[in-house]
Amino acid sequence: MQEKENVLTLTYDLLLYIVPCLQKFPRSQKFVLADRLQNNLTGLLELLIEAYYSRDERKRAALQTANLQIEKTRYLVRLAKDLHCLDLRRYELIAGKLNEIGVQTGAWLKSLGR
């Protein structure tokens, strides 16, 4: 149970960290890339909450979708870095947190078995 709560907390904390960063994006990317990043992370949090409170197949489906959402978010964060919307320090912090969320989500999914 602790691991599941931990991934929820990590995702919430990442969202809390990234929202102020997104507000500093250049105007040309604020309403496209920044919006997409915030929506992806908010959607990820919603999927993890759904998995936490669901049973069996709905839980597995929510976690599989969350896994895909994490991968999409990784690419968007990398794009933000490459477009110089995020500096290297923030990118490394966000990427590290995303990796940790991905590892814990994968472990949770694996713990459900086949």
Which residue range forms the structural domain that includes residue 14? 2-111
Identify the CATH number of the domain in which residue 44 sits. 1.20.1440.60
pLDDT of 98 reads: 97
Give me the number of domains the chain comprises: 1
pTM, full prediction: 0.92
| DSSP codes, the chain | -HHHHHHHHHHHHHHHHHHHHHTTS-HHHIIIIIHHHHHHHHHHHHHHHHHHH--HHHHHHHHHHHHHHHHHHHHHHHHHHHTTSS-HHHHHHHHHHHHHHHHHHHHHHHHT--
Q: How many CA atoms lie within 13 A of 23 on its CB side?
A: 5
What is the pLDDT tens value at each position of the chain, 114 positions in all? Answer: 555 679 999 999 999 999 999 999 999 999 999 999 999 999 999 999 999 999 888 999 999 999 999 999 999 999 999 999 999 999 999 999 999 999 999 999 999 886
Q: Can you tell me which residue has the tokens 């086949």?
A: 114
